[in-house]
Amino acid sequence: MKKFNITSVKSYTKNGVEKKTYPQIGKLTQFDDTPTKEGGFALELNMFPDTKFYVFEDNKDTKEDIKTIQSEEIINIQEESPF
């Protein structure tokens, strides 16, 4: 597993000298492959403190997997709904 800082860049002037600062806005975590799972990434942005974003390769198989996950979530929501 590797962790990366996500930053933006802001320029400012101090004592007549232009400087830059790199405030951290989040983290990116890279997960290694395991015998049963392909590796991947998780993105955490400070502006969304309770949300993790998962990053997948853009290919046909991944799009089908995401559709399956979304369908399963809809089914779970419907099963849990009191209406």
d(CA 55, CA 52): 10
Instruction: List Cβ neighbours of 55 (8 Å cut-off, separation of 6 or more).
Output: 28, 40, 41, 42, 43
pLDDT in tens, 25-48: 999 999 998 888 888 899 999 999
pLDDT in tens, 40-81: 899 999 999 989 888 877 766 655 666 665 555 544 444 444
pTM of the model: 0.58
Q: Looking at residue 3, what is its pLDDT?
A: 95
